[in-house]
Amino acid sequence: MKVRTRFAPSPTGFLHVGGVRTALFAWLVAKQVSGQFILRIEDTDRDRHVEESEQHIIESLEWLGIKSDEPIQRQSQRLDIYKQWGDKLIESGRAYADPYTPQELEDFRQQAQASKQPFLFRNHRPTNPPAWEPGKPLRFKSEPKDYKWKDEVLGELSAGAESVDDFIIIKSDGFPTYNFAHIVDDHLMEISHVIRSQEFLSSVPKFLNLYEALGIDFPLFATLPYVMGPEGNKKLSKRDGAKDILDYRREGFLPEALISFLATLGWNDGTEQEVFNVDELINKFQLSRVQHSGAKFDEKRLLWVSGHFIREKPLDELYELSKSFWPESAQSSPVEYKKGVLELVQERLKYLAEIPELTNFFFEDLPVEMKLIDENKSLKNFNRQQIREMLVKTREKLESCDFSQASLTDRLNGLLEELGQKPGVLFSLIRIATTWAPASPALADTLSLLGKDASLRRIDSSLAALEK
């Protein structure tokens, strides 16, 4: 079988985690058998259409490396095609012009509610429908029946005839509905696998009814359970932290980290492996291993995965990616110095937008904040005079040091022995006095990169502050 998959978003807003995961799974299914992946823009909902959304969708997918193998298709440019297929249904007696006004339809609903019966359009079919003409919606004439079908994720499924009803296929504005257009397009584009969110699952019986009316074979279906919020009890929403995918790019997440994280939202390869590169995903991904229940969006896990990929990056490559994330104070610093700084913080970085917070003190003297000393748990049993004495000894010991990493390590260990202090006490104090930052890389590495002049100058500033 020739494998052709598609991702068919509506340009009504930003592309979110659930949508990108659907695109990724469809892309993987195609790539692992050298098939084709198609991007189709389903822009038929003119009321909700957002002009810049289409470009945002394309840019988001391209950033992640998910690219269409054919020119992008847009449903708004295919209206004549849908009209032709609508005419076919009229000719075969399977579609009719809807003659009712919105108020008449509402009256029918109220009548059904009053009689405690489900409202079904097929109970109100016109005996002699008018000719279909511009300005009138076209409604599909269903033939209700029970259905059984196989879903590549969920297995064998079934639904009763009550789930099949007449529905609009072309609206009064001439644009098709999703229920109609995607079936026509999937057929004409020879889509083999329709991979989509579970929100469409209840509509599959009426899709099958329409496939039969059109006389076309239906593709393989694969239903992806929702991406759930962090508590796992409801679908992920903006309130739970759902973001525009490009927000992750702006924050300096690596695309390969997002790919690995999204792939394992509800899928695993049956082993303990938690992080995958793209080639591994293409080789290992199987729809049959997608879980049936919703997958929780765990932001802590995303940060862990992101940190893993940052640590794996060669330094020169990571530096190129980091260029736009450095603090203003770093702009005039030599490239090699910045690479040295980046190497020190690479182990701790979870995303590149953390760089300013973790590196500011390498480029400028930060304001002296005595609360960093006063509130430090390791220093709470020492008064200002004792702290000052430790810093004076430190300065004396470092003044004759060449500030190589090895020499600094030797001097600092000697200080521990001389003062009889634990590393947690002395090193915390020296770190604060030379950086005035809440955290820093290993002390000897930090001091060596800062250099002798900056380190001693900052110790002097700290001593002056302690005298006040």
Catalytic residue annotation: 238
Residue with tokens 């998910």: 66
Structure tokens at 54: 């289409």
Q: Give yes or no for a contact between 218 and 270, defined as CB atoms under 8 angstroms apart.
A: no
Distance in angstroms (rounded) separating the CA atoms of residues 385 and 400? 24
Q: Which residues in 257-357 belong to E strands, given as ranges? A: 295-296
Structure tokens at 52: 């810049």
Helix 335-345 crosses helix 443-450 at what angle (to 10 degrees)? Answer: 170
Q: Give yes or no for a contact between 6 and 40, defined as CB atoms under 8 angstroms apart.
A: yes
Nearest to 39 by CA among 15, 25, 11, 58: 58
| DSSP character at residue 468 | -
| DSSP character at residue 290 | B
SS3 35: coil
Distance in angstroms (rounded) separating the CA atoms of residues 355 and 253? 12
**Host H or E run for residue 306:** helix 299-312
Give the CA radius of gyration of the chain: 32
Distance in angstroms (rounded) separating the CA atoms of residues 330 and 356? 9
Strand pairing category for 73-74 and 36-41? parallel
Question: Which residues have CB under 8 Å from 262's CB, separation 6+?
Answer: 17, 20, 21, 24
